[in-house]
């Protein structure tokens, strides 16, 4: 065969791989799924789904400190403040796969937990609340809603935004000082100079939720982890400008701001009664509370540089999570 023919053949083979094979899989893998709420069934189950959706959107109104259907939460944040669009927005702690992912082993509790227990973890940590009874109308509604949004997920490994955006780690530690300046530029106009947020007109919830203080999430919440928060704000904040396709903040800026927001020496928060992760081998590397399986300090775990910690874990045959 002449040289040019071989080249053409190779081009053809690779061309096929690229355009047909790869594109086909990516079409399935990269679907964006937004459940159509007009399809909520018109029956008893559908009523539970619809109430569950309302609970995610207006959590404080129903079950907040002055909730009309029960007083469970310790603050007036709504689930949707973090799990945006009632858990369906890509790269915003998306909840569409949750129903099929539980019961699941959780590193924090070092045991297998159900989805209902996982929901209560968020009621207790970011919302500083007391757990919803497992047989309450509210818990059943939230679980029904999570089951319903899961029914839109094609059974593939992943869809766009089911996980968080990833972050590249700089060689230096995240800096609360640089973060403070960036906060003034990018965040303060909505979340306030003191991170206090702004209530809605009837104070039943927030137009701009708080980022620290007694009414914000507590340090036991995963939002308090610097890497975890940086991935989220990169895709979602500033609220009116950033999209996951076009973030406003660089990775380093997102980490610096998360370091500032989550620095408890600068900002007060409600302290949890217990810090969990009883098994240090499964502790997220950006969890700022020891003991650890390595000798890196709490400060380095919280603010980085993270790469040396990750490299150390891998060299010991451990699996770092972050």
Supply the minimum distance, in Å, between the C-beta of residue 231 and ligand HEC.
8
The footprint of ligand HEC on this chain (CB under 6 A) covers a number of residues equal to 45
Measured from the CB atom, is 213 or 308 closer to ligand HEC?
Answer: 213
What is the rounded distance in angstroms from the CA atom of residue 277 to the CA atom of residue 220? 10
**Window 172-211: contact mask with ligand HEC (x via CB under 6 A):** --------------xx-xxx----------------xxxx
Q: Would you count residue 141 as binding ligand HEC (CB under 6 A)? A: no
Q: CA-to-CA distance for 71 and 52, rounded, in angstroms?
A: 16
**165 makes contact with ligand HEC (CB under 6 A):** no
Please say which residue, 190 or 293, places its beta carbon nearer to ligand HEC.
190
Among residues 49, 50, 86, 122, which is the contact residue for ligand HEC, using CB under 6 A? 122
Q: Which helix (H) or strand (E) holds 106?
A: strand 104-106
In three-state secondary structure terms, 104 is strand
**Is-cis flag, bond preceding 305, omega within 30?**
yes
Q: What does the DSSP 8-state code read for residue 157?
A: S
Contact by Cβ (8 Å): 95, 83: yes
Cα 122 to Cα 78, 81, 118, 119: the distances in Å are 11, 12, 7, 5
**Cβ pair 93, 86 in contact under 8 A:** no
SS3 87: helix
Whether 239 contacts 248, CB under 8 Å: no
Q: Residue from 49, 50, 82, 139 that binds ligand HEC (CB under 6 A)?
A: 82
Q: Which is nearer to ligand HEC, 17 or 239 (CB)?
A: 239
C-beta closer to ligand HEC: residue 119 or 255: 119
Minimum gap (Å) between residue 10 Cβ and ligand HEC: 42
- Residue of 50, 119, 165, 285 interacting with ligand HEC (CB under 6 A): 119
Closer to ligand HEC at the Cβ: 15 or 103?
Answer: 103
The site map against ligand HEC for 215-254 (x = CB under 6 A) is: -xx---xxx----x----x---xxxx--------x-----
CA torsion, ordered 171, 300, 280, 295, to nearest 10 deg: 100
- Measured from the CB atom, the residue of 200 and 308 that comes closer to ligand HEC is 200
Q: How is residue 135 written in tokens?
A: 């047989």
Residue 206 CB, shortest distance to ligand HEC, in Å, is 7
As separate numbers, helices (DSSP H) first and strands (DSSP E) second, the chain gives: 14, 4
Tell me how far, at minimum, the Cβ of 308 lies from ligand HEC, in Å. 23
Question: Under the criterion CB under 6 A, does residue 72 sit at the interface with ligand HEC?
Answer: no
* Residue 284 sits in the site that holds ligand HEC (CB under 6 A): no
For ligand HEC, the closer CB: 126 or 219? 126
Distance (Å, whole) CA 17 – CA 30: 17
Asked whether position 86 contacts ligand HEC by CB under 6 A, the answer is no
Contacts of 96 (CB under 8 A, 6+ apart): 33, 35, 87, 88, 149, 150, 152, 153, 159, 162
Among 20-28, 77-85, 262-270, 307-315, the segment contacting ligand HEC (CB under 6 A): 77-85
Place of tokens 């980490």: 255
Backbone angles phi, psi at 105, to 5 degrees: -70, 130
Verify binding: residue 93, ligand HEC, rule CB under 6 A. yes
Dig out the tokens for 315 from the structure.
């060299």
| Interacting residue ranges for ligand HEC, rule: CB under 6 A | 56, 59, 77, 79-84, 93, 95, 97-98, 101, 118-119, 122-123, 126-127, 142, 164, 186-187, 189-191, 208-211, 216-217, 221-223, 228, 233, 237-240, 249, 257, 261
């Amino acid at each position: 065969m002449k040289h040019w023919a071989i080249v053409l053949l190779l081009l053809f083979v690779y061309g096929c791989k690229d355009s047909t094979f790869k594109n086909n899989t990516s079409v399935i893998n990269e679907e964006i799924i937004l459940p159509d709420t007009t399809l909520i069934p018109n029956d008893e189950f559908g009523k539970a789904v619809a109430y569950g959706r309302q609970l995610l959107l207006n959590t404080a109104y129903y079950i907040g400190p002055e909730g009309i259907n029960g007083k469970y939460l310790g603050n007036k944040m709504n689930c949707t403040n973090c799990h945006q669009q009632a858990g369906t927005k890509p790269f915003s702690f998306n909840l569409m796969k949750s129903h099929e992912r539980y019961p699941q082993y959780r590193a924090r509790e070092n045991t297998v937990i159900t989805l209902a227990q996982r929901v209560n973890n968020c009621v207790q940590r970011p919302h500083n609340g007391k757990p919803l009874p497992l047989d309450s109308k509210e818990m059943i509604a939230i679980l029904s809603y999570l089951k319903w949004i899961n029914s839109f997920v094609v059974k593939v490994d992943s869809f766009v935004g089911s996980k968080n955006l990833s972050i590249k780690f700089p060689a230096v530690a995240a800096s609360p000082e640089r973060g403070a300046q960036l906060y003034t530029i990018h965040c303060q106009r909505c979340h306030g100079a003191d991170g206090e947020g702004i209530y809605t007109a009837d104070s039943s919830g927030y137009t701009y939720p708080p980022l620290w203080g007694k009414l914000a999430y507590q340090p036991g919440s995963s939002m308090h982890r610097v890497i975890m928060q940086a991935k989220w704000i990169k895709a979602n904040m500033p609220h009116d400008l950033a999209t996951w396709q076009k973030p406003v903040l660089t990775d380093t800026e997102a980490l610096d701001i998360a370091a500032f927001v989550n620095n408890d020496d600068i900002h007060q928060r409600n302290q949890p009664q217990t810090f969990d992760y009883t098994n240090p081998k499964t502790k997220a590397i950006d969890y700022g509370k020891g003991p650890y399986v390595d000798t890196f300090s709490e400060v380095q775990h919280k603010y980085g540089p993270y790469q040396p910690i990750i490299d150390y874990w891998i060299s010991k045959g451990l699996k770092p999570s972050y």
